[in-house]
Structure 1
Amino acid sequence: MLSVFGPFPLLVIRNQSLEEKDAIRKELKQEKYDLIHAETFYVMPHLGKVSCPTILVEQTIWHDVYKHYVDNEVPFLLRPFYMQDVLKIKFWEKYYWNKADRLFAVSDEDRLAMLSLIPKKKVGIIPNGVDSKYFAEKKVERRIPPRILYGVTNFEWLQNQEATQVLIKEIWPLIRNRYPSARLWIVGRKIPNNIKEMAKEFDDIELTENISDARDAYRKASIMVAPIKGMGGTRLKILEAMATGLPVVSTSIGVAGLNLNDGENVFIADSPKDLAEKALILLNNERLAEKIGSEGKEYVRNHFDWESIVKLHDPIYENLVKKQWKK
């Protein structure tokens, strides 16, 4: 009800925490900080009024994520009602983007989307990354029968729910008809009931809702298939899978912002039929699968490793603090 009649969208309301807000206010009173680094606009209401500069890194374009959901999943007659929430998200995104002293996106696509809404604001890029060494630590343990993985993910994200539905309903039947021994393995937090019900229709789909070490999923799978259709952000599960050497099949939207090359370090396709076909190519050609996995692993190590990305933060922090001191 707060989302319907209040100024904030559900995304902000569900992430609000009075305890967190009070803890931040108390911390800022007791300690002196040179700057604040915030991730995603919807945590910004917790800060209140602050005296030090703020950096905001936006992980995705949230109003685009929810608009995609409304356009594709919500019944036509209910769309105007849901679009009110989308417009609220867009309003508060722009408000907090403008309020931040420095603003960053995680990909060039997101940066351009932000600039289209706030053209006078400077928007930089700090890409997401993974700990390559951590994900490469465990040896690959491929199992027979081969497992096709979707995960390790969080199903609170609407894109993951949509991708899994497409995988189960449209892609998996095509794969299992031509490779009957394969199994589909879906791993992630908070798997919704509708996906659990879909999976029950097949005897070769395995769901794992809680896994203690995400690396175990990547090293026990044969390939990852990620039919992501929703725009925005970068897909950490794809980077994590690649960092372990697991070959990935995804959509052009799923790998947007990663600058990957189809057939070199990933397989890219956009229709269910083509995604199934490319998955089958890898299942039937172990040498090619190993090559794609190895090239992907090297690419992530060179371009998306935490060590190199962390170094991007230092000059940003230093410049912002120097400007504050000069005031």
Structure 2
Amino acid sequence: MKRILYFYHENPLEKNAGNKTRVINLLRYFKNKGMVVDFVSIRNFGSTWTDHDKEVFEKSGFCRTLYLLSRKPKGKNLFQYWLSYKIPNFFFKLRKNPISLYLNYHIQKGFENVLKNETYDHIIINYVYWGELINKKNLLSRAMTILDTHDFTTPRHLDDKNFSLADFFGNEIKQMRYFDQIWAISSDEQYLFGQFYPYKTKLVPFMIDKPGPRLLPQKYEFIYVASDNPHNKEAAEWFFSKVFPSIPDSYRLLVVGKITKHIPDLPNVTKILHMDKIEEAYHSSKAAICPMLHGTGLKIKVVEALAHGLPVICQIRGVDGLPNKINNGCLVSENATAFGQNMLHVVEDEDFHEKHRVDGESLFLDYFQSEKVYKKLDRYFALKHEKHPIG
């Protein structure tokens, strides 16, 4: 029975981002394979772990033990606070890797204390930002260390103050050298990271189970699912100012996710902040949009839409991370006019819609269906492959 220590900095039960969906699906894989998982997260970092969240997660069977680290030590004794955190953290930041933007002394020590409690066969760290957590090799007990990159990080910080491309990119690649395996979520990242670490880099695509048949009537011509990160907010502003005014009022758009907070109230737009069963939203829609202008990596919502048989109207960034850039179910638009025309074409021409639906569904079945990715993971973990249970 393999023992895994799994670090992810946020609460994955919050179904508001594709990276959290990836974490839950990997935890489901470990559970299906009978692996023992200890899960390490940060109590308040981007998302909050409430006592209820902790209880639900522990009862899910996804982990044996849930460790929640604090960003700073508790207590009000000012002298002890400076002695145990402020001063050590000052020197810690002086010597840490520039890519480790969010790591501090207290989180590092908390993770090392977890390593002292148990030995593991595999230690998985999500995102290169946290790569330095495994720096003390004497605490790893010969565990295989894995970095799940999720994305190519450097482009996210191009607009940061005092950003140095050479420094940031160099340190992102350098940090990977300390891991035994590097997981890439897409063929694009696999190619990039594989140029530096050809034998360590493994492709572990985003995965979801094949959706069930469409049972709901179509209520919407289009669906737009997104969080409210800066790239999505920029995309939404562009779409609703440059594209949507050209779409007839009779065509209905469903918007799901935190991006709804940044979208105007319009008579033919339905906004839903959160849905427990996102498949119902896809099943009641005919096509999806992904108007992102910037941003790196695979767009999880594009894969979800294709899996549910929806063609996707997008800009060039929408096909980032897909294994092929044509005949993949996506209609790539070069400007606002073309974007609007593609939206109309895909809902008004049934043959055109069917062609892109079939292309997208085929892509999903070949690359992103859970059964396909399980086979890859079985090889990486040296397991005999068995058909995995659905759900």
Normalising by structure 1, we get a TM-score of: 0.74
**How far apart in 2 are the matches of 1:254 and 1:94?**
25
Counterpart for residue 155 of structure 1: 228
Counterpart for residue 359 of structure 2: 295
Change (3 A) 1:263 1:104: closer
Counterpart for residue 254 of structure 1: 318
Counterpart for residue 255 of structure 2: 186
Q: Does 1:83 align with 2:163?
A: yes
Change (3 A) 1:291 1:111: closer
Change (3 A) 1:187 1:120: closer
Normalising by structure 2, we get a TM-score of: 0.63
> After alignment, is 304-313 or 44-53 more displaced?
44-53
User: How many residue pairs align between the two structures?
Assistant: 288
Over aligned residues, Cα RMSD in angstroms? 3.3
Deviation at 1:229, TM superposition (A): 2.6
Secondary structure of residue in 2 paired with 1:216: helix
Q: Which amino acid aligns with 2:254?
A: W
Counterpart for residue 80 of structure 2: none
**How far apart in 2 are the matches of 1:264 and 1:103?**
26
**How far apart in 2 are the matches of 1:149 and 1:282?**
13
Change (3 A) 1:215 1:98: same
Deviation at 1:262, TM superposition (A): 4.3
Counterpart for residue 236 of structure 1: 300
Deviation at 1:226, TM superposition (A): 0.7
Deviation at 1:155, TM superposition (A): 2.2
Structure 2 residue runs of 5 or longer lacking an equivalent are 1-88, 384-391
* Counterparts of residues 1-327 of structure 1 (less than 5 Å): 12-13=101-102, 22=110, 24-49=111-136, 50-51=140-141, 52-67=143-158, 70=159, 81=161, 83=163, 89-114=168-193, 119=196, 122-133=199-210, 135-136=211-212, 139-143=215-219, 146-151=220-225, 153-156=226-229, 158-174=230-246, 176=247, 179-189=248-258, 191=259, 195-196=262-263, 199-200=264-265, 202-260=266-324, 262=326, 265-318=329-382
Per-residue CA distance 1:8-29 (angstroms, 9 max, x = gap): 769832x77957962x444432
Higher relative contact order (CA 8 A, sep 6+): 1
1:65–1:230: 8 Å Cα contact kept in structure 2? no
Secondary structure of residue in 2 paired with 1:222: strand
Deviation at 1:54, TM superposition (A): 0.8
Secondary structure of residue in 1 paired with 2:316: coil
Deviation at 1:188, TM superposition (A): 1.4
Change (3 A) 1:291 1:90: same
Question: Percent same amino acid at aligned positions?
Answer: 19
**How far apart in 2 are the matches of 1:275 and 1:147?**
15
1:105–1:123: 8 Å Cα contact kept in structure 2? no
**How far apart in 1 are the matches of 2:289 and 2:100?**
28
Deviation at 1:129, TM superposition (A): 2.7
**How far apart in 2 are the matches of 1:10 and 1:147?**
42
Change (3 A) 1:97 1:173: same
Change (3 A) 1:124 1:302: same
Change (3 A) 1:222 1:20: farther
